Structure 1
């Protein structure tokens, strides 16, 4: 067994598991965002969908479902609810009439500005204990991990 294999096994034996720590941090932030978005009538996943559609105008529900690790049916329910509220609009893709793409409406852009302020405050609070250097390193490491997981097929774009 190589030194690298030994290091990988040693990491796997750590308790609590790194996956647990990452998940617990995520859950703490998710609970806060769910609570703080409630007055806007949004859930965390609805906010994130609006945010992604805002930066990737014309994204399909299928692409969103892969990104969120949910079934296309589940994502269709989320997108349909946002569409009924007038926050998103869907239209047939120029590439295929079977594909519906989403864009933000004016109301969607307005609520996204408000929700972004909520998320900004939560993120600033969540990471306030990290130095700028540690925060930058955390973002670098997590970004690299996500790229590697996507390459390995463990996480979708």
Structure 2
């Protein structure tokens, strides 16, 4: 996309959004055979990487509302992928952990997502990728400071 009627800042915003949308679509296609959506994968990955994480933080990492995360967790619990305590903890949140089945699934899903990201970055050199990561982190951090 190279619409010359946009200034560089506008063009960057459009390009980031378009890239995010296509990345999400490709991740969804890769995860679907595993029976996972992108938010479910993000949730399972966060639980794997950060045991004891709160539901609020899970929601932030999966880019969904707390209410949507609760529904998502209920579905994962029904499938036997997460286990939730019966007793509410701090702020009335129930502790959630991965089941052993989910731990293996997360490993498989990570491989699928890594393949999608590898395709996305295949035309970048290692130096380009390092620079892109730094630039995007700077953009993100600037928005967090607002």
Instruction: Select 2:124's aligned residue among 106, 111, 130.
Output: 130
CA distance in 2, matches of 1:111, 1:27: 24
The alignment partner of 2:64 has SS state of: coil
CA distance in 2, matches of 1:130, 1:40: 29
Deviation, 1:145, is 2.5
Paired residues of 2:42 and 2:62 also in contact (CA < 8 A): no
Match of 1:70 in 2: 64
Match of 2:75 in 1: 81
Deviation, 1:93, is 6.2
Instruction: Select 2:142's aligned residue among 111, 129, 148.
Output: 148
CA distance in 1, matches of 2:102, 2:25: 23
Please say which of residues 24-33 and 13-22 is displaced more in the overlay: 13-22
The alignment partner of 1:90 has SS state of: strand
- Going from structure 1 to structure 2, the CA distance change for 1:93 and 1:137 (only over 3 Å counts) comes to farther
Superposed counterparts of 1:1-150, under 5 Å: 13-14=7-8, 17-91=11-85, 92=87, 96=90, 98-150=92-144
Deviation, 1:97, is 6.7
Match of 1:4 in 2: none
Structure 1 segments, 4+ long, off by >6 Å, are: none
CA distance in 2, matches of 1:80, 1:32: 25
Larger radius of gyration: 1
The alignment partner of 2:8 has SS state of: coil
CA distance in 2, matches of 1:19, 1:89: 39
User: RMSD value over aligned CA atoms?
Assistant: 2.0
CA distance in 2, matches of 1:93, 1:138: 42
